[in-house]
Amino acid sequence: MSEQGLLTPGSFRAAGTVDDRAVADAMVRVELAWVRALAHVGAVDADRADRILASCADWTPDLAAIGAATEAAGNPVVPLLTALREQLAPADAAVIHRGLTSQDVLDTALILLSADALTRVRADLGAACAALARLADAHRGSVMAGRTLTQYAVPITFGLKAAQWLAALLEASDEISAILATLPVQCGGAAGTLSLAGELTADPVALAEALAGELGLTWPGLPWHTERRAVTRIGDALVATCDALGHLGADVATLSRPEIGELREAAVAGRGGSSTMPHKQNPILSVLIRSAAMQAPQLGAQLHLAAALAVDERPDGAWHSEWSALRRLLELTVTAASQAAELAAGLQVDVDRMRARATGAAADLLAERGTDGDGDPAAYLGVSQTFVDTVLARLPGGGPDHA
Q: Which stretch binds a copy of itself (CB under 8 A): 41-49, 115-123, 303-311, 344-352?
A: 303-311
Which stretch in 35-43, 47-55, 126-134, 315-323 sits in contact with a copy of itself by CB under 8 A? Answer: 315-323
Catalytic choice (85, 314, 327, 328): 314
Write out the binding residues for a copy of itself, residues 29-68 only, by CB under 8 A. Answer: 63-64, 66-68
Return the residues of window 173-212 that contact a copy of itself according to CB under 8 A. 189-199, 204-205
Whole-angstrom distance, CA of residue 317 vs CA of residue 327: 17
Cβ–Cβ under 8 Å, residues 215 and 279: no
Shortest gap between Cβ of 134 and a copy of itself (angstroms)?
A: 19
Pattern 70-109, a copy of itself, x by CB under 8 A: xxxxxxxxx--x---------------x-xxxx--x----
Nearest CB to a copy of itself, comparing residues 57 and 393: 393
Whose CA is closest to 24, among 97, 151, 112, 87? 112
Chain positions 120 to 139 lying near a copy of itself, rule: CB under 8 A, are none
How far the first Cα of the chain sits from its last, in Å, is: 34
Query: Amino acid identity, residue 119?
Result: T
Q: DSSP class of residue 398? A: S
Identify which of residues 46 and 318 has a Cβ nearer to a copy of itself in the complex: 318
Please name the residues in contact with 322: beta carbons below 8 A apart, sequence gap of 6 or more: 228, 231, 302, 303, 306
Q: Which is nearer to a copy of itself, 105 or 215 (CB)?
A: 105
DSSP helix/strand/coil, 155: strand
Among positions 14, 37, 160, 349, the unique one binding a copy of itself when judged by CB under 8 A: 160
Q: Which C-beta is closer to a copy of itself: that of 49 or that of 66?
A: 66
* Residue 14 beta carbon to a copy of itself: minimum distance, rounded to whole angstroms: 12
Whether 314 is catalytic is yes
**Binding-site string for a copy of itself from residue 257 to residue 276, where x marks contact by CB under 8 A and - marks none:** xxxx-------x-xxxxxxx
- Give which of 334, 346, 271 is closest to 13, Cα–Cα: 334
Could you please report the per-residue DSSP string of 42-99?
TSS-HHHHHHHHHHHTT----HHHHHHHHHHHSSSHHHHHHHHHTTS-HHHHTTTTTT
CA angle 222, 226, 231 (to 5 degrees): 85
CB of 77 to a copy of itself, least distance (A): 6
Report the nearest approach of a copy of itself to the CB of residue 403 (Å). 26
- 298 touches a copy of itself by CB under 8 A: yes
The reply to whether 321 belongs to the active site is no
Q: What is the crossing angle of helices 384-392 and 158-180, to 10°? A: 30
| N residues, the chain | 403
Q: 117 near 338, Cβ under 8 Å?
A: no
376 binds a copy of itself (CB under 8 A): no
Q: Residue from 14, 118, 287, 337 that binds a copy of itself (CB under 8 A)?
A: 287
Does 151 bind a copy of itself (CB under 8 A)? Our answer is yes
Active site residues: 274, 314
